[in-house]
């Protein structure tokens, strides 16, 4: 008998097919995404995963989906998607199955992606469960659980050369399976097959590389949904990393399971599902969030007064009209919303930091044809919703960043850099800056046009 649900497809706005399954008819919609597993059909071949899915679907409508470019989902060139693309793809799946609110259950870095989704679309998330909290895989003095650049390079190389082989699966099992299964050749063969059906070695290497550049720590204080971080008493760090992640999330709970965190074959899946069930069964009132994770974009024309004096009122008015048309067309193209226009400047919000960068680069390139240059500043942070518009300190930060930009410059905050890993941008470190009226010093980066 075939296990699992019927595989269906949701189509994104850019025409990509995202494979998904729904299993069970429980009162809670539960989205599950595991870090190292994919392919909504082949995953069911590993008994431990099938058992985990069946346990979770006993009290929920379990929602599985393949990330863009992996498993059965389409994707341009097999590349691994950035965080905002993954969020929009998940939103497409939820809209397709008519899920208005869901609990998100993510493991390690998939929990980080879910945290970004929950902060961006708070009205669509009823709760977040994070199995082994990982905010970033990048080492720093403030985050000692990550990997150094040399360790990441080695990880990428090993993944590219070994992904899908029995030897690679065996090495992974040795680090993540109970001793009696680590050397089981049959299990190694199944895991290697799952790897091959999850993603190609080149995609897997890109995935590891993207994770090495991603950091969601700045997003975690913005979460407003009920959050449970799950870890194990005998984890290698004593659950220190999960404790740190939990400390960054307002009101988050931490639950430690007994034993070691074996990833294969989720030996403690009964304890995991029991903890998840108890948490989601609790009444979590739906609250209308007054804040969201938003991306703000500010642009203005460089040396506009000088250009006005040189051209005269009538000719300059024509330039400004053409400039406004270019900006508005770019905002429509990149799913941005015009919030305010003052003279020759625009304040807009855009559906994600990568789209904001592409929009700004687009405008900077096109306005040269009418003899002017613009400067742009972009920041992603907590925005208050006031009469349907974004407001608050994040907006002020975006404006201050734009003021520091030079002709044709697109300057972004560190948060934007950390959330756009895998988007293909080349960023030049412009050092730390004081922003007028804003606390602390801010690390800024200049986007280098291709």
pLDDT digit string, tens, across residues 339-390:
998 878 999 999 899 999 999 999 999 999 999 999 999 999 999 888 778 8
Cα distance between residue 425 and residue 357, in whole Å: 9
The tokens for 215 are 């950091």
Q: How far apart are the first and last CA of the chain?
A: 52
Cα distance between residue 148 and residue 446, in whole Å: 24
Cβ atoms of residues 404 and 442 within 8 Å: no
pLDDT > 90: what percent of the chain? 74
What pLDDT does 450 receive?
61
Kindly state the average pLDDT of the residues 171-194. Answer: 80
Cβ atoms of residues 53 and 32 within 8 Å: yes
Cα distance between residue 299 and residue 67, in whole Å: 33
Is the model's pLDDT at 287 over the cut of 70? no
Cα dihedral 190, 230, 216, 391 sign: positive
What pLDDT does 449 receive?
72
Is the model's pLDDT at 3 over the cut of 90? no
What pLDDT does 79 receive?
67
What pLDDT does 1 receive?
47
Kindly state the average pLDDT of the residues 295-301. Answer: 96
What pLDDT does 175 receive?
75
Lowest mean pLDDT among 115-119, 160-164, 280-284, 293-297: 280-284
What pLDDT does 2 receive?
62
- Which of 383-409 are b and which e, b meaning 16 or more Cβ less than 10 Å from the residue's Cβ? beeeeeebbbebbbbbbbbbebbeebb
Q: How confident is the model at residue 288 (pLDDT cuts 50, 70, 90)?
A: low
Q: Which of the two residues, 181 and 292, has the higher pLDDT score?
A: 292
What pLDDT does 258 receive?
83
What pLDDT does 308 receive?
87
Is the model's pLDDT at 290 over the cut of 90? no
CB neighbour class for 267 (10 Å; exposed up to 12, middle 13-18, buried from 19): middle
Kindly state the average pLDDT of the residues 109-136. Answer: 95
Kindly state the average pLDDT of the residues 112-135. Answer: 95
- Give the mean pLDDT of the chain: 91
Cα distance between residue 153 and residue 316, in whole Å: 52
What pLDDT does 185 receive?
85
Q: How confident is the model at residue 296 (pLDDT cuts 50, 70, 90)?
A: very high
What pLDDT does 40 receive?
96
Angle between helices 166-176 and 149-162 (to 10 degrees): 130
Residue 265: asked if its preceding bond is cis (omega within 30°), the reply is yes
CB 193: neighbour CB atoms within 10 A? 17
Is the model's pLDDT at 78 over the cut of 60? no
């Amino acid at each position: 008998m075939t296990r699992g649900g019927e595989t269906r497809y949701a189509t994104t706005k850019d025409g990509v097919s995202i494979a998904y399954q729904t299993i069970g008819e429980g009162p809670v919609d539960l989205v599950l995404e595991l870090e190292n597993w994919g392919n909504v059909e082949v995953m069911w071949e590993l008994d431990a995963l099938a058992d985990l899915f069946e346990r979770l679907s006993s009290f929920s409508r379990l929602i599985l989906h393949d990330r863009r470019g992996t498993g059965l989902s389409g994707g341009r060139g097999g590349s691994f998607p950035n965080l905002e693309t993954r969020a929009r793809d998940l939103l497409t799946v939820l809209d397709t199955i008519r899920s208005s609110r869901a609990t998100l259950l993510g493991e390690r870095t998939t929990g980080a992606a879910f945290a970004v989704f929950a902060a961006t679309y708070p009205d669509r998330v009823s709760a977040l469960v994070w199995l082994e909290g990982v905010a970033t895989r990048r080492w720093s003095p403030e985050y000692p659980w990550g990997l150094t650049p040399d360790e990441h390079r080695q990880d990428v190389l090993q993944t590219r050369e070994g992904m899908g082989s029995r030897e690679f699966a065996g090495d992974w099992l040795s680090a993540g399976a109970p001793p009696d299964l680590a050397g089981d050749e049959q299990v190694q063969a199944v895991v290697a097959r799952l790897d091959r059906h999850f993603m190609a070695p080149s995609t897997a290497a890109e995935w590891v590389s993207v994770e090495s550049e991603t950091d969601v720590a700045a997003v975690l204080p913005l979460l407003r949904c009920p959050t449970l971080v799950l870890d194990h008493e005998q984890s290698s760090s004593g659950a220190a990393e999960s404790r740190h992640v939990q400390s960054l999330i307002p009101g988050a709970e931490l639950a430690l399971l007994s034993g070691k965190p074996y990833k294969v074959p989720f030996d403690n899946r009964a304890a995991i599902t029991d903890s998840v069930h108890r948490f989601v069964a609790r009444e979590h009132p739906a609250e209308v969030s007054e804040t969201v994770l938003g991306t703000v974009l500010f642009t203005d024309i460089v040396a506009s007064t000088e250009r006005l004096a040189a051209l005269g009122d009538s000719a300059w008015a024509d330039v400004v009209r053409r400039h406004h048309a270019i900006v508005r067309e770019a905002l429509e193209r990149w799913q941005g919303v015009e919030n305010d226009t003052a003279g020759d400047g625009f304040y807009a919000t855009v559906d994600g930091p990568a789209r904001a960068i592409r929009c700004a680069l687009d405008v900077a390139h096109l306005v040269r044809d009418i003899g002017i240059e613009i400067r742009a500043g972009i920041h992603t942070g907590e925005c208050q919703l006031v009469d349907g518009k974004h407001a608050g300190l994040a907006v002020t930060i975006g404006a201050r960043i734009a003021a520091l930009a030079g002709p044709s410059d697109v300057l972004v905050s560190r948060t934007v850099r950390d959330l756009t890993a895998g988007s293909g941008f080349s960023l030049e470190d412009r050092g730390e800056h004081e922003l007028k009226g804003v606390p602390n010093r801010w690390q800024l980066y200049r986007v280098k046009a291709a």
